[in-house]
Structure 1
Amino acid sequence: MNSTSATPRTGTRPGPAVALGLAILCIEGYDLFLLGVVGPTLLNHPDWDVNKSTLGLLGSLTALGMPLGSIAAGWLGDLYGRRIPMVVSLAWLSLSMFLSSVAGDLTLFAATRFLTGVGVGALIPLVTAFVSEAATPSRHSLQVGVTQTGMAFGGIISGIVGRTLLPEWDFHTLFLFGAVPLILVPVVWRVVPAVVRDHAATDVPTAEPGARVPARSASANRLSQLLSPQYRRSTLLFWAATFAGLVIVYGAGTWLPTLMVNSGYDLSSSLEFAIVFNIGAVVGTLGAGLIADRGLLKAATVVSFALAAVAMVTLSSPQPRPVLLLASAVAGFGALGTQALVNIFVAHSHPAHLRGTALGFSLGVGRVGAIVGPSYLAAVAALISSPRAGFYAFVVPALLGAVLIGLLRPARSAATIAQPDAPLAR
């Protein structure tokens, strides 16, 4: 057997890589979706004078920090390896969540949400690239997809914690739990290699820990490679599709519990919908990963965008509770599940030396959608008094995302992902 295909390109076995990536993104998901969980509580805060526009601004500030983290971490990870940027990002995220837990006024709280966004944005491309390089070729999409479900598991945990503790406990306490990622720093240092081995580039042995990755002449300007004729079309489409997907993810993450409260449900019931939303994301992403490994990644991504649109229309109308819970689960798949598929699509479509940068820029530029999403929903809610308007607002980016992905060429197959510089399938 060829050693290149038998040995993970990171030197890390797939099992530990997937487990670590899942744990990190689970903590990220908790930190990210917690704002939506405490949203109804913030709107009733006696001293902070939070309204719908303010809540949307808080969500947008969180997302505003993400492009900085995504682009910087993806680029630094490709140049210097994943380990050090991942350790720094975990420590940053822990500190920012601790600061959120002690923020005494709205201005300080808003500043800590921006800092949290930087940490969240940095970790997603680092984790996705690391697991992508360690994954078994024949199960690449499934293993990366399992990791991506960490975000949804974090959302489930935040919903359960919120439903258990709110409104009796001070909402600040929930943010203190988000400082947990600090305990993973020693694990990251042990499991994540100092450098990325790209077998297609050279047969150079792995550098010692702490050593700088030798620069490749082809990687002197990775952004220019992404915008070269070979990758330009797919790069721009990925950026636009990520924009559309993140409008849904961060809009729903910030607003779904509040929209359900506005539709007549109490806080406890609205958080049940948020929990089911994230359960749907977990189940859907795993199923989509299996489908993607059978060569249907593009089709699965288009269908999941379309399902998000259908689910949001269903949630907007009076339906029996079981139907609404099912629609909430489908919406979760269509939001978080779709973005996980887009990330897998990007990873499949680029060689190892560009993968972190491609993911970083896709998520970084696409984060404009995350910035726009919460405020977009707030603007719709302010202009149109009907609670249905917020749900209909999600339909436009969902349909746009389906069209954009439909314009892409198919990704490389799971079998050829093991060959980092293999051409894209037509």
Structure 2
Amino acid sequence: MSPSPSPSPRGRTVALLVVGLCWTAVLFDGLDMFIYGSVLPHMLATKALGITPGQAGDLGSYATFGMLVGALAAGTVADRVGRKTLMIGCVTLFSLASGICALSGSVAVFGLGRTLAGVGLGGLLPTAISMVSDYARGGRGALTIGALMTAHHAGGILSAYVAKWLVEPVGWRSAFWVCVVPLLFVPVLIKALPESLSFLLARGRTEQARALAIRHDIELPARPSQKAPADRWRWDALLNLFRGGEWIQTLLYWLASFGGLLLVYGVATWLPTLMRDEGYNLGSALTFVVLFNLGGIVGMLVAGRASDRFGAPRVSAIWFALTAAGVFLLSVRMPLGVTFLVVFLTGVFLNSAQAMIYATVSIRSTPDSRATAVGWTSGMGRFGAVFGPWLGGQLLATGNGDWGFTAFALAGVASMVFIGVAALRTPRRAVRDDAPRPVVVAG
């Protein structure tokens, strides 16, 4: 195949525009996702809304359950209303939901706000990835999506500073009012974000897609196949994951993803609270959030390169082992500088270990089952994302907070074992050496 032609200046401009707008939206996504964990130590210390540790864990799970619903519904809704419209709807939803949290007078109303926010958060990221994929031309799709993923962790860093600067002097509600600010970004999306070219072609709006491509001097994506055969193909692809001995491989991937996202969202929700429980002050606990997310940005940028060189299954297993060691070390009182380093390295490995599960599944799947295999692996992992925050809350509620880091470390060990065993098996659906390399995404 001949190399893709270099994009024109106009093509580069619209690509940067789309990536910039989607990056900003995902930044707000990360802010809203991590803000709860950042303000939680203060809420528990002041008994805000009468919240208990057990209820705090439940509230964390409400958001991740909402993300599960949003992620599963995103594809269907986007196919009906369009990627641009869905992105605008998701930003509006999680911003308004944060307003509900800020105004809430009870745990039940606060929980409703976090659940609705989760639906918007879960729907935004896959839609943003689809948008930048449409406009990233010239063989830079993986790099573009990797850059997009850094926004989520940048939002986590921002959440720590919002909590550090506002919560103690003003109160926890102020942090959620900041999360309403993305509403001001909605008119910018309406005005400046172009529609997805793939969506326009799929809906038969070929002339509109062609006009948009000509205006921005970019290539049109390949036309999708007809809908009915595609529906049958999707069900066949799902059944193929369980035919013969493939069900063992599939379950190993699902279990690894469950443990990985349990670890990711459990640590994201409870890191500041558990560190404060270990004796660190609130300022240090929030600094850990900053370092953890800085590590996540670095990890996302190096994960693909490491996988290309050493193989995604092998690196994923090693990354989970290092993550488990780092999380366990956080339960040990160490000099502050050493703890900062451990938190940073844990962020590097944890946030990219899960992404490399998806890379492994993608590499080891045939083209006709790849999207289904990765999608279902991610979906099953989302149940771990619901369970992780709940588990941390239950441990604290029963006076076993000291076991929090140990429990999360064990989840990392389990994922290491599952992905390691899966890597040792030789799947019959392995792709050819000339198959296109997968795009590594997170969450």
Q: TM-score range by the shorter chain?
A: 0.7 to 0.9
When Rg is computed on C-alpha atoms for both structures, the one with the higher figure is 2
The aligned counterpart of 2:107 is 106
* CA distance, structure 2, for counterparts of residue 417 and residue 189 of structure 1: 35
Corresponding residue number in structure 1 for 2:216: none
Match of 1:396 among 410, 422, 426: 410
Q: Which residue of 2 aligns with 1:373?
A: 388
2:235 to 210, 214, 224: 224
Aligned counterparts of 1:116 and 1:414: Cα–Cα separation in 2: 42
Of 43-52 and 241-250, deviating more is 43-52
TM-score (norm 1): 0.83
Amino acid at match of 1:282: I
Q: How many positions carry a matched residue from both structures?
A: 414
Q: Does 1:39 align with 2:35?
A: no
- Higher normalized helix content (fraction of residues): 2
Amino acid at match of 2:230: S
2:344 pairs with 329, 354, 375, which one? 329
From 409, 417, 423, the counterpart of 2:436: 417
CA contact (8 A) 1:285 1:338 kept: no
- Within 5 Å, give how 1:245-324 maps onto structure 2: 245-294=260-309, 296-324=311-339
Q: Quick check: 226-235 or 104-113, which moved more?
A: 226-235
Alpha-carbon separation, structure 2, partners of 1:221 and 1:279? 43
Q: Which residue of 1 aligns with 2:196?
A: 194
Structure 1 CA distance for aligned equivalents of residues 416 and 437 of structure 2:
28
Once the 2 structures are TM-superposed, how far is the Cα of residue 250 of structure 1 from its aligned partner?
1.3
Q: Which moved more, 1:168-177 or 1:375-384?
A: 375-384
Change in Cα spacing, 1:320 to 1:47, as seen in structure 2 (3 Å) is closer
Which consecutive unaligned segments of at least 5 residues does structure 2 have?
A: 213-222
Give, in angstroms, the shift of residue 3 of structure 1: 8.0
Deviation, structure 1 residue 352: 9.2
Aligned ranges for residues 208-219 of structure 1 at < 5 Å?
Answer: 208=208, 215-219=226-230
**Cα distance between partner residues in 1 of 2:368 and 2:193:** 20
Task: Using CA pairs under 8 Å that are at least 6 residues apart, name the structure with larger relative contact order, 1 or 2.
Answer: 1
Is 2:91 the partner of 1:90? yes
Q: 1:34 to 1:226 in 2, by over 3 A?
A: farther
Return the alpha-carbon distance in structure 1 between the equivalents of residues 329 and 205 of structure 2.
Answer: 55
SS in 2 for 1:48: helix
**Structure 1: where are the runs of 5+ without partners?**
421-426
Q: Indicate the larger mover: 364-373 or 347-356.
A: 347-356
Question: Secondary structure at the residue paired with 1:318?
Answer: coil
Match of 1:158 in 2: 159
Q: CA RMSD in A?
A: 3.8
* Secondary structure, counterpart of 1:319 in structure 2: coil
Once the two structures are overlaid, the 10-residue window that deviates more, 224-233 or 296-305, is 224-233
1:423 equivalent in structure 2: none
Letter in 1 for 2:436: I
Cα pair distance change 1:50/1:205, threshold 3 Å: closer
Secondary structure of the corresponding residue to residue 337 of structure 2: helix
Q: 1:305 to 1:218 in 2, by over 3 A?
A: farther
Matches within 5 A, 1:133-212: 134-135=135-136, 139-182=140-183, 183-184=185-186, 186-187=188-189, 190-196=192-198, 206=206, 208=208
Alpha-carbon shift at residue 345 of structure 1 (Å)? 5.4
Q: Deviations over 1:64-98 (max 9, x none)?
A: 11121111102333566522322222221222122
Whether the 8 Å contact between 1:315 and 1:391 is mirrored in structure 2 is yes
**Percentage of matched positions with identical amino acids:** 30
Q: Measure, in 1, the Cα distance between the counterparts of 2:137 and 2:300.
A: 18
- 1:207 is displaced (CA, Å) by 5.5
Which letter maps to 1:194? S
